[in-house]
A = this chain, B = another copy of it.
Amino acid sequence: MTLSVPLTREHFERLDRDDPLSACRARFDLPEGEIYLDGNSLGAMPAHVPARIEKVLKEEWAHGLIRSWNDADWYPAPQRTGAKIAKLIGAQAHEVIVADSTSINLFKVLVAATRMQPGRKVILAEKGNFPTDVYIAAGVAELTGCELRCVEPDEVLDALNDSVAILSLTQVNFKSGRRYDMAAITARAHEVGALVVWDLCHSAGAMPIELNGANADFAVGCGYKYLNGGPGAPAFVFVAERHIAHVRQPLTGWHGHAKPFDFTHEYAPHPTIDRMLVGTAPQLGVLALEAALEVFEGVDMQVLRKKSVALCDLFIQLCDEQLLGLGVELRTPRDAEQRGSQVSLAHAEAYPVMQALIARGVVGDFRAPDILRFGFTPLYTRYVDVWDSVEALREILHSAEWNRPEFIARKSVT
């Protein structure tokens, strides 16, 4: 987006009036008077979730009791919710299931993928990926006798060769917001015989994703960021249809069994995506996530992406105009094609600056050591939020408002 006139707040108000997604904001329960730019850490609450959960508790659990596994359709909730997510990530309904956490799902698919690649011993991953991805891959490498090889993001293609069993990447980097070309990288990996695992934590729900269009093998992702499933919401896992019958994941719990309620002594994996399940599904989390996904009903993901790009472009443009000389450096690609739905700025005092912003009601995120991270969630972020947040940031930096004891003091965890 390029604009020839200087930007004003009125311009942003007009963009909000013309926004085809503007009605979606009312689907969320948001705090009054705040600008929430941290939906890529914890998505906002869809307004109808409490009523759904109240019914789950007071009717289905309290009065239906054990019968609700059948009568309230608790059993198929992981499959049902997976099918809803499938629509957002370019997968078929039977290729996605909700289970456990992203870390655990990554463990499952990495071990399963190494078993499909006898004779290959390298798990190729990227430096600077979200740490749990690297930690889990290291754990898998140790257990399976593989080697974990981590390279810089721009060295990934060159590092692909016929020793690589698995390429494990996150589509959008948690810190920089940099986005990989899923289709091109997957194609190149397949040329050398590697399988690819995509982590969609920072892309699912934030943009159109075409897993099958990219011929992806495996994917995992988070329920509590752009999918708005609530704190610690369960994660999802995708296995391409062609792989499902061959996947042997190592967490062989009873809910992944072909016939869990036959209580047989021998494990036999379920013939479908259900084999990715382990224990009993965390129903409160699954049902909250299922309800939360209703906010995507009727939303064209291309329209959502268009707004996301516009929000990020405008934020960058305003930063360029307003924050000149204030010690801020853009760390997210300017090219929208190489970007997710966030903008990251580096600043030497990023921690207290973010605390000062939060105190003013602009909630972004700090990422060590020096990143101010702003997530743009097109379903509830307004254009004026972009204007107001850069304005707040400008004032804080200009007046050194961040330089107060209460902002500098670190909280135990951030």
Contact = CB atoms under 8 A, between A and B. Distances in A.
A90 interface: no
A44 to B, nearest CB: 7
A242 interface: no
Stoichiometry, copies per complex: 2
Given A261-B413, A279-B103, A254 B132 contact: yes
A45 interface: yes
Interface string A365-386: 1011000000000000000000
Q: How large is the interface on A (under 10, 10 to 19, 20 to 34, 35 or more residues)?
A: 35 or more
A403 interface: no
Given A135-B252, A139-B250, A254-B132, A280 B101 contact: yes
Interface in A51-84: 53-54, 57-58, 60-63, 65-70, 74-75
A224 interface: yes
Given A36-B65, A111-B143, A135 B30 contact: no
B75 A62 contact: no
Interface in A130-158: 130-132, 134-136, 138-139, 142-144, 150
A261 to B, nearest CB: 6
Interface in A250-267: 250-255, 257, 260-265, 267
Contact of A69 (B68, B131, B231, B279): B231
A100 interface: yes
Q: Enumerate the 6 nearest inter-chain pairs by beta-carbon distance, A residue then B residue, closest first.
A: A101-B279, A103-B253, A231-B283, A132-B254, A139-B252, A103-B279
Interface of A: 29-31, 36, 38, 41-42, 44-45, 49-50, 53-54, 57-58, 60-63, 65-70, 74-75, 100-104, 107, 111, 127, 130-132, 134-136, 138-139, 142-144, 150, 175, 224, 230-235, 250-255, 257, 260-265, 267, 278-286, 288, 358, 363, 365, 367-368, 411-414
